Each structure stands twice: as structure tokens, then as C-alpha cells.
Amino acid sequence: MATKTQLIPFEATHPGILIKDELDARPDINQKDLSKELGVLPSFLNEIIKGKRPVTADIAILLEKILEIPADYWMKFQSQYEIDLARIKEKNIKRIKNIEIWTIIKEYVPVKYFKKFGYLKGNLEDDIKSIKSIYNIDTIDGLISTFADNKLSFYRKSEKLKIDEKNMFAWSALAKYEAKTQKVNTFNFDNINQLCLKLNKVFYENVDTINKVKKTLNQYGIKLVLIQKLEKTPIDGFSFWSENNPVIALTLRHSRIDNFAFTIMHEIAHIDLHLRENKDRMFLEFTKKEKIDNCEKEADNFAQQKLISPEIWDEIIKNHLPLNEDKIIELGDKFIINPAILLGRVCFEMNFYALKTIIDKKMK
């Protein structure tokens, strides 16, 4: 059974207003005459009319006799006035409390960002609920303590990068929130090699790449979340577990196919190598890495080998040096590898730099 929404008036209406309306509408009786018939002082009646005194049962019975308006109507009117007053008071107390909560929220949440992308609508009560949902908290104290934990984690990961902790916290919280809304296929670790092969074909073709990568990942049970960049959030990727599925969250700071492909494979590596046994772990990748731990080295090696297999790389080294851009394009077509990805590997491992290149790096 649906619950009716309780409407709360902006202002409570006192039954005294009806007495005034009746006196204004009746030329045969004025306020002084009515006070005499009621047996009260004119000042007493004036206070009822102005809402300073209630219409009591005794007054209601007398009004019924004089104005021919039933006593129970006057009593219901008075009762509704008192109920409305109480509800308005409660509403105002709640509003004040929400304002106090919102003042705290603004210290820890980039409100303008959430408004810009439609997560906040401008209704204070609903927006507080939205923030609690996005940050997965029950109370504002929970927001403060979670922020403190995340701030320390960000600092440990990168002590020198210029990071806005509020924005970093928002980005990671939003990634987890958006991941919960996605429904994808069942994930199976045994299918990762096949997934990587399909992704390489998508990277090679480089047509509607983001949508095709998302569709492919979803088919294999991996959620893909794209979060708009915030200021001073130098994040490339974020991998974690959401319910029964792994998640890859990206900022898409660059529109280069080689950067995008490597980041996707790097996060798949974390899923395969590091989230397999511990689904509580999370890997947040900064754009500039000050120190690379073993997990990051393993993920880099995995990504490198899945994008260009050791066998193909050995073949290139043994039989196709020295390389130039035309040869890289030719080898990319031969081995079904996007030339921009091959160029990236060549630049990384050899004394070969192409600041201005004929090879198209743009993701399409």
C-alpha cells in the first residue's frame, strides 16, 4: 500500500482569519458587536482574530450560535492549525540540521563537480542522500573518517605529486558508486587470455574504440567505468572488485590509443595477478609514478606482453632492425598490432623517438 506524501504548508492558517472574513462579509455585525455576543472583551476577540489566542471549545459553541458555522468545524480548524504549526516547526528544525550537515559536506566533497554532472539536483535533503549513497556512508561522521583514511592512503602512494585530496576522494568514491549500477556477465579468470586477444583486435581496428572495449569487457564480466577528470587528480586507472565482478575505472586523461590500450591491459593485470586471491585490494594508478613496487612492475610486464607477445617482439628484434615509421606501420599490419602501440614499445625500449610522426596515435 502506497504511503501518501504529507504536504506541509508554508504557513499555518489560524481559525481567527475565518472570523475576520465572516465579519468583513456581514454588514450587520462588527468585531465590537461579536465580542459582546461572545461575552469577551474586544481585545480578547482581537487576539483570536490575530492568531494570538486559540479558538476553544466554549468559543466554538458560541460562534456556532452566532455565525451559524458548526462548532466541530471551528475545532477542526484549530486542531489543523496546531498540527500545521508543529509540522512547520519540525520541518524548520530538519532544514537547519540539513544546512549544518551540508556545511560539513562542502568541506569534503567537490559539490560543484557533482552538480555539473547531474548527481546533485539542488534539493538539500535529496542531495544529502545522494552524497551518502555515492560515498557509501550512513552518517557525516562516516564521511569524515573515510576521508581521513583515504587522504593517508593517497599521501603514502605519492608524497610529491600535487593532489587535491577532496577531488581524489570524490573520484574513487564515484568510481565505486558507478560500478554498483552496472550489470555485466559472469567473470571467469580462465577467460582472460581470450579477452586480451579480442581487445587487441579492437585496438588494432581503432574504430569506436571506447564503446567496443566497454562492450568486450562487459561480455567477459569486467565493468568499465569512465569518470570525468577533476582538478589535481593525476589518475590513469583504478582496479577493484565490485560485488561479483572486477572493475576498471579510467579518467581518460589522454586520447591516445597506445596510452589507453596499455592502461586497460595494466588494470587487467591487476585483476588477474593481484585481485584473484584478495578481492579487498584496490589499485589506484597515478600518472607519474615516483616509485614502482613489485605489483606495478608485474602489471607493466603483463600489459607489455599482452599487447605485443614476446614471440612477435623477438621476431622484430631479430629480423626487422633498424626500424623506421614506415616499417613500424608495415609490421603493425603484419602482426595485427596498432602501429601506435608498436611505436610506443619501440620508443620505450630503443633509442627511437618520434615527436612528430606520421603514425596516427589518436583514439577513434
> Per residue in 47-95, pLDDT tens?
999 999 999 999 999 999 999 999 999 999 999 999 888 888 888 888 8
By mean pLDDT, which of 111-120, 131-140, 199-208, 346-355 is the weakest? 346-355
For CA atoms 232, 271, 269, 331, the dihedral sign is: negative
Cβ count near 137 (within 10 Å): 17
Q: Three-class SS of residue 4?
A: coil
**Residue 3 — pLDDT band, cuts 50, 70, 90?**
very low
Whole-number pLDDT of residue 285: 77
Report d(CA 164, CA 154) in Å as an integer. 10
In this structure, are residues 218 and 185 in contact, taking their beta carbons and an 8 Å threshold? yes
Sign, CA torsion 203/208/210/212:
negative
- CATH code matching the domain that covers 16-104, chosen among 3.90.1150.10, 3.40.190.10, 1.10.260.40, 2.30.42.10: 1.10.260.40
Question: pLDDT class for 5, splitting at 50, 70, 90?
Answer: low
Confidence of residue 116 (pLDDT cuts 50, 70, 90): very high
Which three three-digit cell numbers place residue 10?
A: 508554508
CA distance 172 to 169: 5
Q: Where do the structural domains in the chain lie, given as residue ranges? A: 16-104, 165-307, 310-349
131/153 Cα distance (integer angstroms):
21
pLDDT tens track for 192-233: 999 999 999 999 999 999 999 999 999 999 999 999 888 888
Rounded to 10 deg, the angle between the 257-269 and 339-349 helix axes is: 80
Q: How far apart are CA 303 and CA 273, in angstroms?
A: 12
Place of cell 499555518: 12
Cell reading at 255: 586520447
Average confidence (pLDDT) over 236-245: 92
What is the distance between the alpha carbons of residues 206 and 196, in angstroms, rounded to a whole number?
15
**What is the residue whose three cell numbers read 572488485?**
241
Three-state secondary structure readout of the chain = CCCCCCCCCCCCCCCHHHHHHHHHHCCCCCHHHHHHHHCCCHHHHHHHHCCCCCCCHHHHHHHHHHHCCCHHHHHHHHHHHHHHHHHHHHHHHHHHHHHHHHHHHHHHCCHHHHHHCCCCCCCHHHHHHHHHHHCCCCCHHHHHHHHHHHHHHHHHHCCCCCCCHHHHHHHHHHHHHHHHCCCCCCCCHHHHHHHHHHHHHHHHHCCCHHHHHHHHHHHCCCEEEECCCCCCCCEEEEEEEECCEEEEEECCCCCEHHHHHHHHHHHHHHHHHHCCCCCCCCEEEECCCCCCCHHHHHHHHHHHHHHCCHHHHHHHHHHCCCCCHHHHHHHHHHHCCCHHHHHHHHHHHCCCCCCCCCCCCECC
Among candidates 104, 94, 93, which has minimal Cα distance to 125? 94
**Amino acid in position 230:** L
The C-alpha cell 593481484 sits at 274
Higher pLDDT, residue 206 or 284:
206
pLDDT at 101: 93
Q: Is the pLDDT of residue 109 over 90?
A: yes
